[in-house]
């Protein structure tokens, strides 16, 4: 199960030893962060005064609090990883870290954690680094309130803003990430929470994760990324109250779900995406109380998806509400609001008295023949769709909402 955000309270340790405070700066006895790390004891606090520090790679191999005063600059000069954390119970906050080295084999970062636990990285500015923050085999670590920016235009020449591999019980909270390959990347990460982050204008994905089970993604904003958010080969995902918007392009989508099972998508907003949600090979998912507004396709659910429930969602102002690539639909649509529904409610129970078929004939045609979109606004297309809804012949008969809502839900 997902551990609560109380993990944050456990990250910065409490040792039963007497700790000291060490100050580093031009006017201090110690002018070097390297020297301060050398003389510090476990549990000490190192306060770094404002200034520019070009000291190469800083290795933290004992548990310390490393704190910047007025954002001192740690400059890697494009030569090396700037901060390497090889001690658990370490806290890093208040720095501006820039110009890490670039290498595709060892993936240097502004801050990289190596096989440690209870590490806190908070309130830093990371700018123009290859990777921003990299957690390698970490446990119970927290990445909170950092601003992470890069400026590459080629995804092969930049790493990810927050990259987590083979980790457990992480909390990623309140960060702003832009300009990286992927804003946030999870692989083999379990029991973790991504909460209240803003990931925008990244080259590829705002969020990308694979083989990462039992994680929760809550109240994040994913805006104007290359091809949106990708969630693949995972089970037990909870995505709640997120915003997916302005992901436009030939292959773009707000959220792509591939080979996902037993997961919950609740209360999200999909606005102005080429495709709001694309689903392939998904089983036993529940999509509830989401808002799809002004997308190209609100929901594309492929024939490989089985036993999914699409319930109590609003579909408003989309070019196409739904799309599919097959004739057999083994999913349940019920109690959704469709702004194109023109039925009636004689018994005044708030539900339409006749079923609604959200899959339009022209959606099927344009899926197979994209140039047909040139005819989208024509009278003939409107006539085809109206005829198909009265007597379905080419669209799947079981692609139907038997209890469409007469009014939109207050989402």
| Own/partner pairs, 346-349, CB within 8 angstroms, 24+ separation | none
**pLDDT for residue 1:** 44
Poorest-pLDDT segment among 54-63, 175-184, 329-338: 329-338
Identify the band that residue 387 occupies on the pLDDT scale cut at 50, 70 and 90: low
**pLDDT for residue 237:** 96
**pLDDT for residue 324:** 86
Q: Which residue has the tokens 């927050």?
A: 162
Q: Which residue has the tokens 């979109």?
A: 373
Residue 364 phi, psi dihedral angles, 5° rounding:
-65, -45
Poorest-pLDDT segment among 97-106, 295-304, 394-403: 394-403
pLDDT digits (tens, 9 = 90+) for 227-241: 889 999 999 999 999
**pLDDT for residue 114:** 98
**In this structure, are residues 85 and 117 in contact, taking their beta carbons and an 8 Å threshold?**
no
pTM: 0.89
**pLDDT for residue 362:** 57
**In this structure, are residues 108 and 137 in contact, taking their beta carbons and an 8 Å threshold?**
no
- pLDDT higher than 90, residue 309: yes
- pLDDT higher than 50, residue 6: no
Residue 156, Cβ density class (10 Å: 0-12 exposed, 13-18 middle, ≥19 buried): exposed
Most confident of 15-29, 153-167, 322-336, 371-385: 153-167
- pLDDT higher than 50, residue 294: yes
């Amino acid at each position: 199960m997902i551990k609560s955000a109380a993990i944050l309270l456990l990250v910065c340790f409490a040792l039963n030893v007497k700790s000291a405070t060490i100050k580093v700066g031009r006017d201090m006895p110690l002018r070097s962060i390297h020297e301060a790390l050398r003389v510090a004891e476990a549990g000490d606090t190192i306060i770094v005064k404002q200034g520019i520090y070009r000291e190469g790679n800083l290795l933290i191999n004992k548990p310390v609090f490393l704190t910047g005063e007025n954002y001192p600059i740690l400059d890697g000069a494009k030569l090396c990883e700037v901060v390497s954390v090889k001690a658990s119970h370490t806290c890093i906050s208040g720095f501006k870290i820039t110009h890490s080295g670039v290498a595709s084999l060892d993936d240097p970062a502004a801050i990289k954690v190596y096989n440690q636990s209870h590490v806190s990285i908070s309130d830093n500015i990371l700018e123009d680094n290859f990777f921003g923050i990299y957690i390698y085999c970490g446990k119970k670590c927290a990445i909170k309130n950092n601003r992470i920016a890069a400026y590459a235009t080629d995804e092969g020449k930049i790493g990810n803003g927050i990259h987590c591999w083979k980790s457990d019980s992480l909390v990623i909270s309140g960060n702003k990430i832009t300009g990286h390959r992927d804003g946030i990347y999870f692989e083999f990460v379990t029991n973790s929470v991504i909460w209240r982050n803003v990931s925008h204008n990244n080259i590829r994905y705002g969020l990308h994760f694979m083989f990462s089970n039992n994680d929760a993604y809550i109240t994040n904003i994913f805006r104007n990324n290359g091809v949106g958010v990708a969630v693949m080969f995972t089970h037990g995902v909870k995505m709640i109250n997120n915003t997916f918007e302005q992901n436009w392009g030939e292959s773009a989508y707000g959220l792509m779900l591939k080979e996902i099972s037993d997961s919950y998508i609740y209360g999200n907003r999909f606005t102005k995406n080429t495709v709001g949600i694309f689903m392939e090979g998904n089983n036993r998912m529940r999509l509830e109380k989401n808002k799809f507004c002004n997308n190209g396709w609100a929901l594309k659910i492929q024939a490989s998806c089985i036993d999914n429930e699409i319930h109590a969602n609003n579909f408003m102002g989309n070019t196409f509400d739904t799309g599919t690539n097959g004739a057999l639909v083994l999913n349940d649509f019920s109690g959704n609001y469709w702004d194109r529904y023109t039925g009636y409610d004689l018994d005044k129970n708030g539900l339409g008295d006749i079923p609604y078929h959200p899959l339009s004939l022209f959606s099927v045609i344009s899926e197979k023949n994209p140039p047909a979109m040139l005819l989208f606004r024509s009278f003939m297309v409107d006539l085809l769709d109206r005829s198909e809804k009265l007597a379905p012949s080419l669209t799947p008969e079981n692609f139907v909402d038997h209890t469409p809502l007469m009014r939109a839900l207050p989402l």
